[in-house]
């Protein structure tokens, strides 16, 4: 009886000290690609995280919010939080709309005229008025 009791104690002590096998999933995780802050250059080298966008008109990276801001409006007079931006160079204006992926280059014939392209018209009146197909969509100073 004493031998049996001693054997039981030794067996319990042996198994209680044994290394436990993990039941966790042992799949190998692929290392995640580290993204460098400020490493978000576009095809032209402009860093979007720093607010830069490629200007077709200026042929360089610019911050469009430093240009002329036009606020979205309806002919009813309501304004919204969306905005468009315009930069000028001579008789050309580059229009950046939140609804367009690419900018739009507008041209005017002479000083004081409006800038036009397709159905867009930018009119210099009490600041600027942008019309599309004859309807006012943005205004600004």
Q: What integer pLDDT is reported at residue 98 of this predicted model?
A: 84
Q: Answer positive or negative: Cα dihedral of 59, 43, 54, 91.
A: positive
Q: What integer pLDDT is reported at residue 112 of this predicted model?
A: 87
Q: Counting Cβ atoms within 10 Å, is residue 16 exposed (0-12), middle (13-18) or buried (19+)?
A: exposed
Q: What integer pLDDT is reported at residue 134 of this predicted model?
A: 93
What are phi and psi for residue 11, nearest 5 degrees? Answer: -65, -45
What are phi and psi for residue 6, nearest 5 degrees? Answer: -65, -40
Domain boundaries, the chain: 63-140
Contact between residue 131 and residue 124 where contact means Cβ atoms under 8 Å apart: no
The Cβ of residue 128 has, within 10 Å, a number of other Cβ atoms equal to 21
| Local confidence pLDDT in tens for the 141 residues of the chain | 666 666 677 766 666 665 655 555 566 667 666 665 556 788 889 998 888 999 999 999 999 888 888 887 665 556 566 788 999 999 999 999 988 889 999 999 998 899 999 999 999 988 899 999 999 988 887
Q: What integer pLDDT is reported at residue 10 of this predicted model?
A: 74
Q: What integer pLDDT is reported at residue 82 of this predicted model?
A: 78
Is residue 7 within a helix (H) or strand (E), and if so which, with residue range?
helix 2-16
Q: What integer pLDDT is reported at residue 80 of this predicted model?
A: 61
Q: What integer pLDDT is reported at residue 120 of this predicted model?
A: 95
């Amino acid at each position: 009886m004493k031998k049996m009791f001693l054997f039981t104690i030794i067996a319990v002590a042996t198994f209680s000290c044994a290394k436990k096998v993990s039941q966790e999933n042992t799949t190998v995780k692929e290392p995640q690609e580290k993204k460098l802050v400020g490493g978000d250059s576009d095809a032209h080298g402009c860093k979007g995280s720093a607010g830069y966008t490629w200007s077709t008109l200026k042929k360089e990276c610019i911050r469009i919010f430093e240009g002329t801001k036009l606020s979205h409006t309806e002919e009813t007079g309501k304004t919204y939080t969306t905005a468009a931006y315009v930069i000028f160079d001579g008789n050309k204006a580059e229009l950046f709309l939140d609804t367009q992926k690419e900018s739009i280059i507008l041209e005017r014939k002479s000083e004081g005229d409006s800038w036009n392209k397709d159905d867009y018209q930018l009119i210099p009146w009490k600041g600027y008025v942008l019309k599309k197909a004859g309807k006012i969509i943005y205004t600004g100073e």
